[in-house]
Structure 1
Amino acid sequence: MDQLVYIRMRHRLQVNPHELVFLKDVAQIIADESILEELSRVPLYKVTAEDRNIIIIDVMKVIRQLTERFAPIEVQMIGPAQTIIEVVAQKRKISKPMFILIWLLLFFGAALTIMNFHEDVSMQEVQQKIFTLVTGEIDPKPLIFQIPYSIGLGLGMIIFFNHVFKKRLNEEPSPLEVEMFNYQMDLDNYVSLNENKESMKKIDDH
């Protein structure tokens, strides 16, 4: 009777340039203890200088190598059909002048956006009218409304993005994190379909 091996491919994996990728890196494995260690150390791919930053390992390639090396075994696949390998080059340190420049651009850009929005909706006139309705007096600068509103605007942004610098307020993801996750999933689906040579066949392929 063939030994049964369960393979669950990981969704994404990061490796260094020129690294040798083993089965244990790209998949979770359930198998008999007698072959589990040897299965884990099966080499699948060697990252070379010709490789770009994205490599696709298809489960059919994994099954082919395992059945040839460990016959007779039966491989059962669970989950995704490929693993996206991201080759991560050594990160360059960001210079302090560049960091300060980007910070200033984001700060003044956000400030101008908020000011232009308030100007478009006539926020100052609205606060003046509210002050007049509540107190019966006319004040061109109703600070009793403007100061709490400014503080509340900052607190609202902190709650919306769910972060104070690097500290997360709670475990719920922020809308920005959800959008980044959706973008990454769409990008991974595109890469899986277009970079995986096993998933398409052109008319001139033989």
Structure 2
Amino acid sequence: MEECVYIRLKYRAQIKPNTPILLKDIANIIGNEDVTEKVGELVLGEFSKDKDVFILDVTVVLQTIFRHFPKLTMDTYGPSQTIVEVIRKRKKVSKVGFIIVWLILFVGAAFAIMNFHEDVSMRQMHERLYFMITGEHSSHPLIFQIPYSIGLGLGMILFFNHIFKKKFNDEPSPMEVEMFNYQQELDQYLIMRENKMYSSFLDDD
């Protein structure tokens, strides 16, 4: 009876620098334990020093397996390509640089909020609301301005579902959703570019 293995490529895989890319690193393999261990140890390639990301197609996987196990039956499902990324050691963040960036973002956000409030005449609206309720004029209706300022900060915390490293629930924040969408579009671009380069290579041949 012929052995059969089922292979499902991962959408994205990460490896350490200066290490060969093994099949088990970029795919889930199901089948006889002895066979899957041997297949999983197959080397698919190595990272070049000038590239951190590249696309690995399922045809490369099948060709590699067939070259070493010609009688093995293979069945693939899931993604037809996987994005392989090398994880290099990150440099430590400078505390001085972090403080400078934090200050720039803080001041920029503060100016953006103040300019927005000036555009919509928020102060005049508070003064008018205070006059409508109390019948008195006040250029500093703190009874409205203070709760509004506190509510503005709390609203932003609840909106982003984050305070420092703590999350209030398991729902993704709008920033996390935007980052996810950006990563999806970036991955799609890498795949399209790789396919275009591969097509051009075939046309030249």
C-alpha contact (below 8 Å) 1:58/1:196 kept by paired residues: no
Aligned counterparts, 1:35-74, within 5 A: 35-49=35-49, 51-74=50-73
Provide the TM-score with structure 1 as the length reference: 0.94
Name 1:142's counterpart in structure 2.
141
Q: Deviating runs (4+, > 4 A) in structure 1? A: 196-199
The one-character-per-residue Cα deviations of 1:149-205 (angstroms, maximum 9, x if unpaired) are 000000000011110101111100011111110110010011012124785235752
C-alpha contact (below 8 Å) 1:193/1:199 kept by paired residues: no
1:74 alignment partner AA: T
For structure 1, which segment, 51-60 or 122-131, has the greater mean C-alpha deviation from structure 2 after superposition? 51-60
**CA distance 1:9–1:24, shift in 2 (3 Å):** same
For structure 1, which segment, 148-157 or 82-91, has the greater mean C-alpha deviation from structure 2 after superposition? 82-91
> Secondary structure at 1:18's aligned position in 2?
coil
Name 2:30's counterpart in structure 1.
30
Structure 2 residue ranges without an equivalent (≥5): none
Structure 1 residue ranges without an equivalent (≥5): none
2:46 alignment partner AA: K
1:106 alignment partner AA: L
C-alpha contact (below 8 Å) 2:15/2:25 kept by paired residues: no
Name 1:80's counterpart in structure 2.
79
Pairwise CA distance, 1:33: 2.0
> Secondary structure at 1:94's aligned position in 2?
coil
The one-character-per-residue Cα deviations of 1:14-68 (angstroms, maximum 9, x if unpaired) are 222211111110000111123111111111112232x411121111000111122
Give the distance between the partners of 1:122 and 1:162, measured in 2 at CA: 29
Provide the TM-score with structure 2 as the length reference: 0.94
Identity between Structure 1 and Structure 2 (%): 49
Give the distance between the partners of 1:162 and 1:135, measured in 2 at CA: 36
C-alpha contact (below 8 Å) 1:17/1:48 kept by paired residues: no
**CA distance 1:28–1:197, shift in 2 (3 Å):** farther
**CA distance 1:198–1:149, shift in 2 (3 Å):** same
The total of aligned residue pairs comes to 205
> Secondary structure at 2:54's aligned position in 1?
strand
Give the distance between the partners of 2:102 and 2:197, measured in 1 at CA: 44
